[in-house]
A and B are shown apart, each in its own frame.
Chain A
Amino acid sequence: QSVLTQPPSASGTPGQRVAISCSGSSSNIGTNVVFWYQQLPGTAPKLLISRNNQRPSGVPDRFSGSKSGSSASLAISGLRSEDEADYYCAVWDDSLSNWVFGGGTTLTVL
């Protein structure tokens, strides 16, 4: 199992706000910045949120990230059908000397 814990699934209706959590420990999220990646079906991952809460150019402001202690969260507001994807958190783990990813959360827009 993953060092970072994410819920396997999340869902919402169009227009709603959903949040996806990522729980880690003092050796990873508690110490280092968190990144979020979006993987649309059948495609490569794409950087969605950088350094806890920075949106790369082109990422809509409907997406936001936050971090508190050893946990992080991705929020998506104004949910749209094209947001259906897998979402992964990622962080450097000082104890493992490894980049670690969460197990991924599959978002369904009902």
Chain B
Amino acid sequence: DVQLVQSGAEVKKPGESLKISCKASGYRLTSYWIGWVRQLPGKGLEWMGMIHPGDSDTRYSPSFQGQVTISHDKSTSTAYLQWRSLRAPDTAMYYCARFCSSGTCNGAFDVWGQGTMVTVSS
């Protein structure tokens, strides 16, 4: 089964750093882009950026450029989303999703992780 399994919920204080993970299984991580999507409490979906683990090509939404870092570890088939200094408005659910780039799903985020809830509060 193709799966993306994300790390567990986090509670952090403002100014702290954080790295959450997304482990892929059931397919070759290096063959597909992995994207990250934010969902603020009670709100809609926002694309943050994506990485191609095959060549480390990384794209960011202008809204998130410089605010987060997307990375990956080929050896563990894991993608990461990282903050250097969290703020209260970063409180949200974060989803990773596989980006399909061929066939009838070309252009879709076709497999999603279960989400990681990040709470930033003093």
Contacts and interface: CB of A to CB of B under 8 A. Distances in A.
Interface stretch (A23-31, A69-77, A98-106): A98-106
B107 A51 contact: yes
B115 A35 contact: no
Interface residues of B, number: 23
Given A44-B113, A50-B108, A51-B104, A99 B61 contact: yes
A88 B108 contact: no
B107 A44 contact: no
A92 to B, nearest CB: 7
A47 B109 contact: yes
Contacts of B95: 44-45
B45 interface: yes
Interface residues of A, number: 26
A47 B105 contact: yes
Contact of A88 (B45, B113, B115): B45
Interface string B67-105: 000000000000000000000000000010100100011
Interface of B: 35, 37, 44-47, 61-63, 95, 97, 100, 104-110, 112-115
Interface of A: 2, 32-33, 35, 37, 43-47, 50-51, 54, 56, 88, 90, 92, 96-104
